[in-house]
Amino acid sequence: MQTPSGSVPAAFPQGYRIGHATDRKSRTGCTVILPPPGTIAAVEIRGGAPGTRETGVFSPGNLVDEIHGLVFSGGSAFGLAAADGVAEWLAARNVGFAVGEHRVPIVAGAVLFDLAVGAPRRPDRRMGIAACRAAREGAVPAGRVGAGAGATVGKLFGVARAAAGGVGAAALRLPGGEIVAALAAVNAFGDVVDPATGRVLAGPAIRGRRSTPTARALVEEDLSSSPHAGRATTLVCVATTAPFEPGSLKRVAIEAHDGIARAVRPAHTVVDGDAVFVMAPPGPPPSILLRLRVGAAAAEVVARAIVDAVRRRPERRRTGA
């Protein structure tokens, strides 16, 4: 397959470390993104059923705009406990916002619902610490790992008929040399589609065959028996090397959601917790052209990362963290 113009290996910019902790028996886990010092963040939540931590910090004009860690976790609301382990791990290394003699790590988090699969274990602080210990620079390990270990997509007829989700990644280099990369943990209610053709890549199956695409079934079929509870979400982290200030970065988080809508249909539903976090080095507001380029690239890499998540083959079984 030909590499799209501007594509680079699915790795985050230099200085970012990404690690997974995976419990393969329980089919759950967490994924940690540790940015370089000084990184700022913005967040945009468009799903109707989010589960998050520390998202209110990243509003332009607030006291703190720096981020020290981001955690995506299975386990639904219980999985937010993994962020405690990340904060503990960072504090032990004197990383955090200075408050007098203390350092307070700013660790944001978001969770997805995987409680309907695997054994009943939930990510906790120990799993968060394990993911930090595993974090490395370079290519992003993807597939059924970390927060994507128990992820499923196309849940119109329940998890039993859903397709495998997972973690995916993608990156682009802009004409000026700036990198824009994305990591997505895909556990969507809707189907994952090829953004160019609309062909369903992962969706619900009935008797071993693909059903009517979810978006069409919702407006055409009798779905009174569909178990459409809040068990879905797509979680995304975008990182760029282009310097930003918080207000401009917020717009990138908004535009990046276009990538979810291109690759997940339907997206941003009342039963999804779709959230996008964007990270960048601090700086003055970039030019209008660069803002347009980064926003367009963010949407593109998000869509590609979501497709990557469902195209990855399941990795061989091995002992989880």
The per-residue pLDDT for range 148-182, each reduced to its tens digit, is 999 999 998 888 889 999 999 999 999 999 999 99
Q: What is the pLDDT of residues 62-102, one digit of tens each?
A: 888 899 999 999 999 999 999 999 999 999 999 999 998 88
Cβ proximity of 150 and 79 under 8 Å: no
Amino acid found at 312: R
The residue written with tokens 């937010």 in the block is 80
The radius of gyration computed from the CA coordinates of the chain, to the nearest angstrom, equals: 18
Statement: residue 15 has pLDDT above 50: yes
pLDDT score recorded for residue 7: 66
Helix, strand or coil, per DSSP, at residue 6: coil
- What is the Cα 77 distance to its own chain's centre? 16
Query: Residues, the chain, total?
Result: 321
- Rounded to 10°, the helix 288-311/246-263 angle is 40
- What is the Cα 262 distance to its own chain's centre? 15
Q: What is the pLDDT of residues 253-291, one digit of tens each?
A: 999 999 999 999 999 999 999 999 999 999 999 999 999
Vertex 261, ends 217 and 28: CA angle to 5°?
A: 85
In this structure, which topology does domain 17-311 adopt according to CATH? L-amino peptidase D-ALA esterase/amidase (3.60.70)
Percent of the chain with pLDDT over 90: 75
Both tokens assigned to 260: 């979810």
Dmax (CA) for the chain in angstroms is 62
The H helix count followed by the E strand count for the chain is: 5, 19
pLDDT score recorded for residue 121: 78
What are the φ and ψ backbone dihedral angles of 55, each rounded to 5 degrees?
A: -80, -25
Q: Whole-prediction pTM value?
A: 0.92
What are the φ and ψ backbone dihedral angles of 297, each rounded to 5 degrees?
A: -65, -35
